[in-house]
Amino acid sequence: MNKNLRSHPMKNPIILALDVDTRDQTLKIADDLSEVVGGFKLGPRLCLRYGMDFVKEVAQRGPIFLDNKHFDIPSTMEAAVRASFDAGASLVTVHALSGAEALKKMAEVERELNQIRPFKILAVTILTSWDQNSLPVNMKEQPIAQHVIDLADLVKTSGLSSVVCSPHELDLLQNRDLYLVTPGIRFSMQDSGDQKRIMGPKEALRKGASALVVGRPILEAKDIKETATDFVMAVYEEK
C-alpha cells in the first residue's frame, strides 16, 4: 500500500482521539492500536489529569497530536508549544483567532523546532461543534465558510502552513498548499454526537484532507481494532 505522505509526521492519515478518562484505558488502547492508526490525539481531558509525563508515555506508542488549542499572548503560547514539543508532541494546536502577531511567533518556533525533528503547529479555524446559529455573537456577520477562509489566509500569510477545519470547509481551502487536519469524521452520519459539520473519510480525503481525526466511532465500537483498521483501509482505498 502507498502511504499518504502528506500525513507526515503521523504514520498514516488516521489520528485516533483518545477521548477517555483513565491512564490504564488510554495506554491499553494505545498499545492495541499502535500498529494500526497514524497517531494519537491527546487533549486537556487527559493532560490535566495526568500531566506531561503521561504525554511522554503515550508518545512511546506512536506520534502525538497534542490538542490543547492555545489562545493567549504570544509569549505564553510559545512557552506552551515548546513544553508540548519537549513532551514528545509531533502536532500541536493553537487558535487562529489569536491573531497575526501570535501566529508569526508560532511560525518562528515551528521553523526552529523542525530543525530537531518533524513538527507542525496547527491553527484551529472554527470549531466543528459550532454552526451558523451557535457562533459567538461577535462572529455572526458573515457565514462560517468565510470565517474559515479569512482565518486560513491569515495563517498562511503569518508563515504557518497547517490548519484544523471541518470537512465542510475543505473545498474552500484547496490550492493553498496547506496541511489540513479534519475532525468530525464518521462512517455513519447519524452518529454525529456534538459535531455539527461531519463527513465520511473517503469524501474528506477527496476534498483535500491531509489527516483525519476519529474518536468516538472507533472508541465506542464493539471491536475497536477492527473499526480502526476499517478507517485506515478506507484511506488507502481512496488513494
Whole-model pTM?
A: 0.89
Report pLDDT digits (tens) over 6-31.
567 999 999 999 999 999 999 999 99
Residue 76 has pLDDT above 50, yes or no: yes
**Catalytic positions, written as ranges:** 69
Q: How far apart are CA 141 and CA 129, in angstroms?
A: 19
3-state secondary structure of 50: helix
Please say whether the beta carbons of 114 and 108 come within 8 A. Answer: no
The confidence score (pLDDT) of residue 167 equals 87
Spell out the domains of the chain, with CATH numbers in brackets: 5-238 (3.20.20.70)
Mean of all residue pLDDT scores within the chain: 89
Cell of 52: 506531561
Residue 175 has pLDDT above 90, yes or no: no
Q: How far apart are CA 10 and CA 33, in angstroms?
A: 14
Residue 99 class from Cβ within 10 Å (0-12 exposed, 13-18 middle, 19+ buried)? middle
